[in-house]
Structure formats: structure tokens, C-alpha cells
Amino acid sequence: MPTYEYVCQECGHQLTVEQKMSDARLRDCPACGKPGLERQLSAGGFALKGSGWYVTDFKGGSKASKAEEPATAPCAGGACACH
Ligand SMILES: [Zn+2]
């Protein structure tokens, strides 16, 4: 379920709500009771408007291990009929 960030334009209260895409947006602020909530774009990896911080999300990393494939056995002299 996607998570939405709401910020109240009236009092600045922030909250995070899990909602389905089809759910109606919240409007009433639980802190001040006014219909001042504005939904932010998404959670994670974005700059919150007006608050001056941002999250940088690094995922994964470098894999240093290199798998060496076994060399194909060269033609073994005596038992091979190809020469
Ligand atoms: Zn509020």
C-alpha cells in the first residue's frame, strides 16, 4: 500500500498515512482541525517543500566478486581422435 505524506497548510503539522490509490485524500488536519492538509508527491527520495531537507536513497552496491568460469578442457592428446 502506498504511503502518502500530508502537510497542513494551516499549522504545518505533518503526517504519514497509508492509503490505497483509490482512497479519498485527507483534508482535515488532526492537529488543528482545519481542512488544510495537502498531499505531498510521495515518500522517500524527494525534497519536502519548505522544510529544507531531503532524503537520498542509495540502494544496492558494487559486487566485487568475479566468478571465474571453468576453462573448457583442451583436447586431451592421446585419447582424442581429432589430431
Ligand atoms: Zn493543521
The 10s digit of each residue's pLDDT in 42-78 is 545 444 555 555 545 556 555 555 566 666 666 666 6
Q: For residue 59, tell me if it sits in a domain.
A: no
What's the number of domains the chain is made of? 1
Q: For residue 71, tell me if it sits in a domain.
A: no
Sign for the pseudo-dihedral over CA of 14, 21, 48, 7: negative
d(CA 11, ligand 1 centre) in Å: 4
Q: For residue 20, tell me if it sits in a domain.
A: yes
All residues with CB under 5 Å from ion ligand 1: 8, 10-11, 13, 29, 31-32
CB atoms within 10 A of CB 29: 21
Q: For residue 50, tell me if it sits in a domain.
A: no
Distance in angstroms (rounded) separating the CA atoms of residues 55 and 43? 9
Q: For residue 67, tell me if it sits in a domain.
A: no
d(CA 80, ligand 1 centre) in Å: 84
d(CA 57, ligand 1 centre) in Å: 29
Percentage of residues of the chain with pLDDT beyond 70: 48
Q: For residue 10, tell me if it sits in a domain.
A: yes
C-alpha cell at 29: 488536519
Domain of residue 14 covers 3-39
Q: For residue 25, tell me if it sits in a domain.
A: yes
